[in-house]
Amino acid sequence: MNLRDTSLLTALLKIQGRDKLLLLIAFFSGACSMGIEIAASRVLAPVFGTSIYVWGALIGVLLGAMSIGYFLGGYIIDKNPNKIILFEILFLGSILALITMVMPQLITNITSLFGLVTGAILSSIILFSSPMLLLAMVPPVVIRLSAENIDNIGKYSGRVYMISTIGSIVGTFLTAFFMIPTFGTRITFISISILLFLISIIYIPRKIYLFFVLMILLFEIAIMAFIVPQAKPVDVLYSTESEYNVIKVLDLDSSRYLKLNSERYVQAVFYPNNPLTGGYWDYVNLGLFFNNPKKALFLGVAGGTSIRQFLKYSNITIDAVEIDSKVIYVAKKYFNIRESDRLHIYVEDGRTFLTNSRDKYDIISVDVFSGGPDIPFHMTTKEFFQLVNERLTDDGMVIMNVLSLKNYTKITNSIANTMLTTFGSVYIIDLGNNQIVIGFKKNILPYEFSSTLQNVRGDLEIVANKSLLNFRKFEPTDDIIFTDDISPVERMSFEMVS
């Protein structure tokens, strides 16, 4: 059969000029709707993080808005089948997409008072449901304007939704892989608004067109103070966005801090004149005293706080893995991290690196967070720790940082339980909001653990002494063992911060 005889291609080749324009509008409305959805997640991230709960809230709200939009679009165009309605919908959508960027931080800060899930739902409703509702009105309007009679309604509706879905795919890829990493969230929303506005003025009568132009110019002037990039606060040294993170570097009181996504948590600290921080990073160094290590692996780099300490306090060779290349750039430019014969940095997912690597390490440090309190689930499971164990030498150990806010210990207990399925012994150093979970390949007795810490001298002696007062050998609890099939670490993280 000749390809040109197939029904789908034949139908597409016969599209008339009017239909081509309408299908083009369906394409761009689909692209813009997914662009808004992808970019919306970056607006929510600084306050609510990027967990499955936040994505669930966002997607649920937007699907609800779209369902209402589909109904309203069909209802309105049946009442008045005038093509001007389509362009008025697009114009209003352009205005609402622009409004999204006026005060998102104020809205999210207020709604966060209602908790993680409720706050994310309220923020999604207030900021994004209106433009998504309007864009969802476009397909039924286009179908009604395109269909010549009731007999061909199926053909036209299928064509419209196909083209709209292709637009959604393009919008998803363009927003996620190009617009946000290159230009940021703010410019992405403004670009969507401009695109919708330019399409909307094609068929609007001249008088209305001039009124709309004047209206949008006045509107943009009125909110320009909000949408133009504001002068950065004196403590923000650098900020950018990547495929994975909203990144901020702050200088405050002669110290430098790295924040990823959430304003609540600090991922790295740098004191130019002191390698120690007084924070949990210092306790990773205790691994240097247990097995005379020669080689270490860091899963999670951030600003390289513990890596910088390892390089100072030992002659160890380090492989470091970080999924975000822009975080590596920030670590090098602002946190004094330099690759050398002793430090090699890889841009890759930590678990993927373990799967592909065949090297052996004396220490593996795991400090990975999704920009909030939750650890990526695939780096908490039994299968993950089996990989870690396989990459350790016979005397090797894994050291993992786990948040324990408000004395919430379920996550720590589950991770320790999971480690015990693979490791000979597990110890916990309780630092309050942070807990250091240490898994030894061999069974290390409590007196061996304590005697090692008692022999620590120099800068790290104070760290060892505090650990002596706050360590315990972990005994199995009734808490869940995480697996690749079931690892509710995000739900537990939500419980912890609620």
Do residues 367 and 298 touch, judged by C-beta distance below 8 A? yes
Distance CA 180, CA 85 (A): 31
**Does residue 6 carry a pLDDT above 50?**
no
Rounded mean pLDDT of 53-81? 92
Nearest to 179 by CA among 94, 241, 93, 99: 241
- Other beta carbons within 10 angstroms of residue 356's beta carbon come to 9
Tens of pLDDT, residue by residue over 226-279, are 444 444 455 888 988 888 888 999 998 788 999 988 777 888 999 988 889 999
**Does residue 448 carry a pLDDT above 60?**
yes
Provide the b/e sequence for 151-189 (b: ≥16 CB within 10 Å): eeeeebbebbbbbbeebbebbbebbbeebbbeebbbbbb
Rounded mean pLDDT of 370-385? 85
Distance CA 263, CA 45 (A): 9
**Does residue 295 carry a pLDDT above 50?**
yes
Distances (CA, A) of 340 to 52, 317, 381, 450, 482: 38, 10, 32, 34, 36
What is the structure's pLDDT at 17? 52
| Domain-wise residue ranges, the chain | 3-227, 255-497
User: Which band of pLDDT confidence, cut at 50, 70 and 90, is reported for residue 117?
Assistant: confident
Nearest to 435 by CA among 462, 463, 470, 469: 470
Q: Do domains 3-227 and 255-497 have the same CATH topology?
A: no
List, in sequence order, the alpha helices (H) in 14-152: 17-48, 52-79, 83-99, 104-111, 116-136, 138-146
Find residue 397's DSSP bridge partners.
363, 440
Least confident of 164-173, 184-193, 428-437: 184-193
User: Which band of pLDDT confidence, cut at 50, 70 and 90, is reported for residue 187?
Assistant: confident
Distance CA 228, CA 106 (A): 16
What is the structure's pLDDT at 10? 43
What is the structure's pLDDT at 152? 72
Nearest to 241 by CA among 330, 305, 127: 330
pTM check: above 0.85: no
What is the structure's pLDDT at 159? 87
Tokens of 115: 């908790």
What is the structure's pLDDT at 150? 62
**Does residue 287 carry a pLDDT above 60?**
yes
CATH code of the domain made up of 3-227: 1.20.1250
What is the structure's pLDDT at 394? 94
List, in sequence order, the alpha helices (H) in 314-460: 325-334, 350-356, 382-390, 410-420, 446-454
Least confident of 55-69, 174-188, 347-361, 472-486: 174-188
| DSSP state at residue 140 | H
Rounded mean pLDDT of 1-13? 43
Distance CA 94, CA 91 (A): 5
**Does residue 28 carry a pLDDT above 60?**
yes
User: Which band of pLDDT confidence, cut at 50, 70 and 90, is reported for residue 375?
Assistant: confident
Tens of pLDDT, residue by residue over 315-357, are 999 999 999 999 999 999 999 999 999 999 999 999 999 999 9
Distances (CA, A) of 414 to 8, 304, 440, 476, 488: 54, 27, 17, 9, 10
Rounded mean pLDDT of 106-130? 88
Q: Classify domain 255-497 by CATH architecture.
A: 3-Layer(aba) Sandwich (3.40)
User: Which band of pLDDT confidence, cut at 50, 70 and 90, is reported for residue 215?
Assistant: low
Nearest to 300 by CA among 418, 401, 388, 403: 401
Give percent of the chain above pLDDT 90: 54
Give me the phi and psi of 438, to 5 degrees please. Answer: -120, 120
What is the structure's pLDDT at 222? 53
Do residues 106 and 43 touch, judged by C-beta distance below 8 A? no
Least confident of 134-143, 345-354, 402-411, 435-444: 402-411
Tens of pLDDT, residue by residue over 382-418, are 999 999 999 999 999 999 999 888 778 899 999 999 9
